[in-house]
């Protein structure tokens, strides 16, 4: 029998031994398979994709220009984010309630907003909270921004409503101007210069009135068109029309022009008045809410499915579990051989480090593969997690995650002196994976040098690759997969060198 | 090859070994400041049983580990099959069988699975079932083959370890206290098997705390406090311990002082004689076989009625105690 075949037999001894030892612990196997499945299942049914609702007490100073009624309305405008818990004029009492946990948020309205704004400064809403969770603090900051935006919109809306009311008077002025233009044209054609002068003065008066009123009403429309970029390259079309209108009106009084020139100018004036009137009608027809908040957003994904939150986490859970399983099993494997004393037997026997490692790699790969298969089937067919991609690619990524994780585990096991040391190292790897692998937060949120840690963890690769395959239905990023396997090969080489030293060398 | 005892070189007659499988020369092993084995030299001839006896902590296990290559000597040299164990190839390692002092197999595997693991470790072929069965039957564990190792007794674990050591039919066996915790009947069976293996040409290096087992060995090394006191045949060990063979001399009449003084003055009688009764004495002589007829002749000359003259074989416990006592008295 050849040495190669004997080597295979020696390696197989570990394969059988490890598998038998694992199967002698059915509760462990059941926990490994059912644990993550149940966690995802409960998370899936328990997770509510709703923002937190905060019981909010408002503090309105007696000097505030904002009425208590308005405050309630503002609170309702934020949707279900705030629960209106009342208005009080006593800030200390409100903060006491916050301290006692009777409310979640206290919003103090600015007392002297009018004078602050007149002084060219923004008035400030102060939000008091009792949170220590940075995520919740960010949420409250966002809520404060949202609340100020709601109030600002309400203020702008009232301006728009006022502008639309003023536009009625503007329309009257434009009608009068139109009538003066017609009367002036008739007077000029009939040679009644005196009447024409009279009508020209009336027209000038009308144009002045329009110029003053348009700042409030048509100015808003002008800004809207400017924002939309629908004004044909003219930055301020209403203002430009008004300027033309005033110039032409003033030049009508210039007696040096010929009659025909004045009639042409009169036609231009008439056209500008009609134009302005048309814009005015357009402005009046627009809902004030649209004028102050003309844009909203809609998001549409080009992905094939829009996964639920538990679907999204399923590949990450699978990757993390497999990494932890492989790291822990491998980490305990060799350190236990040392504890039991078998290492002494191995040193005397013809067993080589490569054979021992090969046998252990294969056994844990097979075991991890079986766990992954059962878990994947449960996720896809019981929890209905989408599986849009290729199962072979999925299997390849699982195998790569297991292979590299085993490398980490074996390296830990060889350098550990005791069981508890190996477990501690494994737990550190798990903790690092939770924070740095993109499991709970995107890698983009990490400082770039810190991402080096992320790219040393198999879970990082597993999460990204399995999500691509299962949820996007695309092929894995081969460069990433290659990187993962390369790390695994380096770790295997290190483990082999360490194991060789452990088995082959004497003390 | 000459053997030397570092403690009493002048008193030893070296044992000549021509075809040695193991050769240890001035082996010393230190762990920090503590010396576990000090300047130990011996040779183990092929197809022999070499017993290594000594009390607990005398350095027996350390010596075995030095011979198997588990430990590297701090000083000195060891050759097994004319090669340093640290440089053994896989093929050479496959010729060894090693039974450590403690059970080092897997408690969560059955008796059969553990033995199967050990057989695989030595690259035994896939059709090894018969060998496994034979090994388990020999150690009387075949009926218990389906039991988990954690559920069997300490003695059964020792037997399983022995089966795991023998299963691949090694040429050289290192057995570290194989009979510890084994009942006397099975212990006798083990020794019968060891002798059978020896007759088949196998070499066995065996340590034991049961000094009485030294009688089963071809050569015995006596170790105490890390030092090898003596290496010799069991008979030679006894001879060395008391400075000669022991003969019980019994007469029909009580011995008088004059007769005792005359007896002591005989040329083949060593100075030390012990009265074991009013008409009996234990005499230390150069050689029991030649001293017995000479004693009979002397008694006839002196008109002393002899009831019996027979060689006395002290137990190895007594021999061991005597050797240690002498070691202590020699400092």
- pLDDT exceeds 50 at position B8: no
How far is A350 from chain B, CA to nearest CA, in Å?
Answer: 4
* Residue B246 near residue B283, CB atoms below 8 Å: yes
CA A200 to chain centre: 60
Is residue A151 included in any domain, yes or no?
no
| Backbone phi, psi, residue A220, to 5° | -60, -45
Is residue B322 included in any domain, yes or no?
no
Task: Tell whether B190 and B267 lie within a shared domain.
Answer: no
* Domain closes at, from A250, A268, A292: A292
Task: Tell whether A278 and A195 lie within a shared domain.
Answer: yes
The separation between the first and the last C-alpha atoms of chain A, rounded to the nearest angstrom, is 32
Which residues in chain B are closer than 8 Å to A340, comparing Cβ atoms? Answer: 104-106
Higher pLDDT, A51 or A262: A262
* Residue A312 near residue A467, CB atoms below 8 Å: yes
Q: How far apart are CA B297 and CA B279, in angstroms?
A: 18
Higher pLDDT, A494 or A212: A494
A339 to chain B, any CB pair closer than 8 A? The answer is: no
Task: Tell whether B194 and B130 lie within a shared domain.
Answer: yes
Which residues in chain B are closer than 8 Å to A350, comparing Cβ atoms? Answer: 90-91, 93-94, 121-123
| Backbone phi, psi, residue B97, to 5° | -125, 130
pLDDT at B137: 93
Task: Tell whether A359 and A474 lie within a shared domain.
Answer: yes
pLDDT averaged over chain A? 86
Say which CATH number the domain at A121 has: 3.40.1710.10
Q: How confident is the model at residue A196 (pLDDT cuts 50, 70, 90)?
A: confident
**Mean local confidence (pLDDT), A68-75:** 74
Say which CATH number the domain at B24 has: 3.40.50.300
Span B172-225, pLDDT tens digits: 999 999 988 788 888 888 899 899 999 999 999 999 878 788 889 999 999 988
- Classify residue B247 by its DSSP letter: E
- In what helix (H) or strand (E) does residue A500 lie, and over which residues does it extend? helix A478-504
* Residue B100 near residue B161, CB atoms below 8 Å: yes
| Backbone phi, psi, residue B204, to 5° | -130, 125
pLDDT at A228: 55
Is residue B4 included in any domain, yes or no?
no
Which residues in chain A are closer than 8 Å to B113, comparing Cβ atoms? Answer: 16-17, 20
* Residue B8 near residue B228, CB atoms below 8 Å: no
Q: How far apart are CA A299 and CA A301, in angstroms?
A: 7
Is residue B320 included in any domain, yes or no?
no
Task: Tell whether A197 and A166 lie within a shared domain.
Answer: yes
- pLDDT exceeds 50 at position B6: no
A102, A92, A95, A82: which is closest to A128 by C-alpha?
A95
Is residue B325 included in any domain, yes or no?
no
* Residue B115 near residue B159, CB atoms below 8 Å: no
Task: Tell whether B235 and B247 lie within a shared domain.
Answer: no
Q: How far apart are CA B40 and CA B21, in angstroms?
A: 16
pLDDT at A235: 53
Which residues span the domain enclosing A256? 162-292
* Domain closes at, from B181, B205, B239: B239
Is residue B326 included in any domain, yes or no?
no
Partner-chain residue, chosen from A10, A340, A348, that has the shortest CB–CB distance to B69 = A348
Residue B173's closest chain A neighbor by CA? A348
pLDDT at A248: 84
pLDDT at A320: 93
Task: Tell whether A22 and A63 lie within a shared domain.
Answer: no
Partner-chain residue, chosen from A341, A350, A507, that has the shortest CB–CB distance to B122 = A350
Task: Tell whether A121 and A167 lie within a shared domain.
Answer: no
Q: How far apart are CA B64 and CA B173, in angstroms?
A: 11
Express as a percent the part of chain B with pLDDT over 90: 44
Task: Tell whether B119 and B133 lie within a shared domain.
Answer: yes
A479, A501, A343: which is closest to A415 by C-alpha?
A501
Task: Tell whether A33 and A74 lie within a shared domain.
Answer: no
* Domain closes at, from B192, B213, B239: B239
- pLDDT exceeds 90 at position B320: no
Q: How far apart are CA A497 and CA A490, in angstroms?
A: 11
Partner-chain residue, chosen from A13, A16, A352, that has the shortest CB–CB distance to B90 = A352
Task: Tell whether A206 and A236 lie within a shared domain.
Answer: yes
- pLDDT exceeds 70 at position B166: yes
Q: Is the dihedral of CA A364, A367, A370, A373 positive or negative?
A: negative
Span B52-80, pLDDT tens digits: 998 888 899 999 999 999 999 999 999 99
pLDDT at A48: 72
Mutate which: B87, B90, B149, vs A, most A CBs within 10 A: B90
pLDDT at A219: 64
**Mean local confidence (pLDDT), A335-341:** 87
Is residue A446 included in any domain, yes or no?
yes
The separation between the first and the last C-alpha atoms of chain B, rounded to the nearest angstrom, is 28
Q: How confident is the model at residue A225 (pLDDT cuts 50, 70, 90)?
A: low
Is residue A301 included in any domain, yes or no?
no
- As beta bridge partners, residue B251 has B306
pLDDT at A496: 94
Residue labelled with tokens 């005792």? B260
Strand order across the A54-59 sheet: A82-88, A54-59, A105-108, A126-129
* Residue A24 near residue A369, CB atoms below 8 Å: no
Task: Tell whether A322 and A276 lie within a shared domain.
Answer: no
pLDDT at A223: 65
Q: How far apart are CA A13 and CA A9, in angstroms?
A: 6
- In what helix (H) or strand (E) does residue B303 lie, and over which residues does it extend? none
> How many domains, chain A?
3
Q: How far apart are CA B220 and CA B204, in angstroms?
A: 12
Task: Tell whether A331 and A454 lie within a shared domain.
Answer: yes
Polymer length in residues for chain A: 507
Q: How confident is the model at residue B3 (pLDDT cuts 50, 70, 90)?
A: very low
Report CB contact under 8 Å: B148, A13: no
Which residues span the domain enclosing B222? 9-239
Task: Tell whether A373 and A230 lie within a shared domain.
Answer: no
Q: How far apart are CA B207 and CA B173, in angstroms?
A: 11
Q: How far apart are CA B287 and CA B282, in angstroms?
A: 14
Task: Tell whether B207 and B306 lie within a shared domain.
Answer: no
Q: How confident is the model at residue B130 (pLDDT cuts 50, 70, 90)?
A: very high
Beta strands at B245-251 and B306-312: parallel, antiparallel or unpaired = antiparallel
**Mean local confidence (pLDDT), A125-131:** 92
Q: What is the pTM of this model?
A: 0.75
Higher pLDDT, A505 or A113: A113
Is residue B329 included in any domain, yes or no?
no
- As beta bridge partners, residue A84 has A56
pLDDT at A497: 92
Say which CATH number the domain at B285 has: 3.30.70
- In what helix (H) or strand (E) does residue B288 lie, and over which residues does it extend? helix B288-301
Which residues in chain A are closer than 8 Å to B100, comparing Cβ atoms? Answer: 341, 344-345
pLDDT at A201: 86
Task: Tell whether A226 and A256 lie within a shared domain.
Answer: yes
Which residues in chain A are closer than 8 Å to B122, comparing Cβ atoms? Answer: 10, 349-350
Q: How confident is the model at residue A197 (pLDDT cuts 50, 70, 90)?
A: confident
- Each residue of A122-158: b (16+ CB within 10 Å) or e? ebebebbbeeeeeeeeebbeebbeebbebbebbebbe
Higher pLDDT, A78 or A322: A322
Cα→Cα distances A59→A107, A129, A424, Å: 6, 14, 52
Those residues whose C-beta lies under 8 Å from the C-beta of residue A463, and which sit 6 or more positions away, are A315, A316, A319, A320, A437, A438, A439
Say which CATH number the domain at A212 has: 1.20.120
Is residue B87 included in any domain, yes or no?
yes
* Residue A369 near residue A399, CB atoms below 8 Å: yes
| Backbone phi, psi, residue B21, to 5° | -90, -35
Task: Tell whether B209 and B247 lie within a shared domain.
Answer: no
What is the phi-psi region of residue B161: left when phi exceeds 0, alpha when psi lies from -120 to 50, beta otherwise? alpha
CA B195 to chain centre: 13
| Backbone phi, psi, residue B254, to 5° | -60, 150
ipTM of the complex: 0.81
* Domain closes at, from A263, A292, A321: A292
Report CB contact under 8 Å: A347, B68: yes
Task: Tell whether A112 and A168 lie within a shared domain.
Answer: no
Residue labelled with tokens 């009493």? B8
Q: Which two tokens stand for residue B35?
A: 């010396």
- pLDDT exceeds 50 at position B7: no
pLDDT averaged over chain B? 87
> How many domains, chain B?
2
Task: Tell whether B22 and B170 lie within a shared domain.
Answer: yes
Per DSSP, the residues of A151-163 read HHHHHHHHHHHHH
Higher pLDDT, A481 or B12: A481
| Backbone phi, psi, residue B20, to 5° | -90, 140
* Domain closes at, from B239, B268, B294: B239
């Amino acid at each position: 029998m050849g040495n190669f075949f004997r080597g295979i037999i020696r390696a197989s001894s570990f394969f059988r031994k490890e598998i038998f030892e694992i199967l002698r612990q059915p509760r462990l196997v059941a926990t490994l398979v059912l644990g993550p499945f149940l966690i995802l299942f409960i998370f899936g049914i328990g997770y509510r994709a709703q923002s937190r609702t905060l019981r909010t007490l408002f503090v309105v100073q007696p000097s505030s220009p904002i009425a208590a009624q308005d405050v309630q309305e503002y609170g309702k405008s934020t949707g279900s984010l705030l629960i209106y818990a009342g208005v009080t004029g006593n800030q200390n009492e409100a903060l006491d309630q916050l301290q006692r946990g009777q409310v979640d948020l206290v919003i103090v309205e600015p007392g002297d907003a009018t004078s602050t704004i007149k002084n060219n400064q923004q008035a400030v809403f102060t939000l008091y909270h009792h949170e220590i969770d940075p995520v919740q603090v960010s949420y409250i900051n966002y809520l404060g921004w949202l609340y100020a935006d709601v109030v600002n919109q309400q203020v702008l809306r009232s301006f728009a409503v006022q502008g639309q009311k003023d536009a009625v008077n503007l329309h009257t002025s434009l009608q009068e101007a139109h009538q003066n233009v017609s009367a002036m044209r008739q007077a000029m054609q009939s040679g009644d210069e005196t009447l024409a002068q009279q009508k020209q003065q009336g027209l000038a008066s009308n144009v002045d009135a329009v110029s003053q009123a348009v700042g409030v009403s048509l100015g808003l429309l002008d800004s809207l068109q400017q924002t939309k970029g629908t004004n044909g390259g003219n930055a301020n079309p209403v203002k430009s029309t008004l300027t033309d209108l005033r110039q032409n009106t003033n030049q009508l009084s210039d007696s040096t022009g010929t009659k025909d020139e004045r009639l042409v100018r009169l036609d231009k004036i008439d056209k500008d008045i009609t134009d302005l009137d048309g814009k005015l009608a357009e402005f009046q027809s627009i809902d004030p809410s649209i004028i102050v908040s003309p844009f909203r957003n809609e998001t549409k994904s080009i992905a094939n499915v829009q996964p639920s939150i538990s679907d999204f986490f399923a590949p990450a859970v699978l990757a993390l579990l497999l990494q932890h399983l492989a790291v822990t099993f491998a980490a305990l494997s060799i350190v236990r051989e040392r504890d039991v004393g078998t290492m002494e037997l191995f040193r005397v026997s013809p067993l080589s480090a490569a054979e021992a490692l090969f046998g252990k790699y294969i056994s844990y790969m097979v075991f991890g593969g079986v766990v992954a298969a059962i878990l994947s089937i449960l996720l896809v067919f019981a929890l209905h997690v989408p599986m849009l991609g290729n199962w072979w690619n999925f299997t390849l990524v699982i195998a790569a995650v297991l292979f590299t994780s085993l490398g980490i585990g074996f390296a830990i096991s060889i350098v550990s002196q005791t069981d508890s040391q190996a477990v501690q190292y494994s737990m550190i790897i798990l903790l690092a994976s939770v924070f740095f692998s993109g499991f709970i937060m995107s890698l983009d949120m990490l400082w770039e040098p810190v991402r080096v840690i992320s790219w040393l963890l198999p879970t990082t690769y597993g999460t990204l690759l399995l999500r691509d395959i299962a949820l996007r239905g695309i092929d894995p990023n081969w460069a990433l997969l290659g990187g993962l396997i390369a790390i695994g090969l380096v770790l295997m080489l290190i483990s082999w060198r360490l194991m060789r030293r452990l088995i082959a060398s004497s003390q | 090859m000459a053997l030397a005892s570092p403690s009493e070189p002048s008193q030893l007659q070296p044992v000549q070994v021509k075809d040695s499988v193991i050769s240890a020369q001035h082996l010393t092993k230190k762990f920090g400041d503590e010396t576990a084995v000090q300047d130990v030299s011996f040779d183990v001839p092929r197809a022999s049983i070499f017993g290594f006896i000594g009390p607990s902590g005398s350095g027996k296990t350390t010596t075995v580990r030095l011979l198997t290559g588990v430990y590297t000597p701090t000083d000195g040299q060891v050759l097994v099959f004319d090669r340093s164990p640290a440089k053994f190839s896989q093929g050479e390692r496959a010729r060894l069988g090693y039974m450590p002092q403690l059970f080092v197999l897997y408690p969560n595997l059955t008796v059969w699975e553990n033995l199967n693991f050990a057989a695989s470790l030595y690259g035994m072929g896939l059709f090894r079932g018969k060998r496994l069965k034979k090994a388990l039957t020999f150690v009387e564990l075949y009926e218990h083959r389906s039991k988990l190792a954690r559920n069997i007794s300490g003695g059964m674990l020792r037997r399983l370890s022995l089966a795991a050591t023998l299963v691949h039919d090694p040429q050289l066996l290192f057995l570290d206290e194989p009979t510890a915790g084994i009942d006397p009947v099975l212990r006798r069976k083990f020794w019968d098997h060891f002798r059978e293996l020896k007759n088949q040409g196998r070499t066995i290096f065996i340590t034991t705390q049961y000094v009485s087992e030294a009688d089963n060995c071809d050569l015995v090394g006596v170790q105490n406090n890390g030092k090898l006191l003596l290496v010799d045949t069991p008979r030679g060990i006894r001879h060395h311990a008391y400075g000669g063979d022991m003969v019980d001399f019994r007469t029909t009449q009580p011995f008088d002082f004059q007769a005792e003084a005359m007896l002591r003055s005989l040329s083949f009688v060593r100075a030390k004689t012990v009265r074991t009764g009013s008409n009996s004495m234990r005499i230390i002589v150069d050689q029991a076989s030649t001293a017995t007829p000479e004693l009979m002749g002397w008694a006839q000359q002196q008109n002393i009625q002899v009831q019996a003259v027979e060689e006395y074989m002290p137990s190895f416990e007594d021999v061991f105690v005597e050797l240690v006592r002498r070691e202590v008295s020699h400092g």
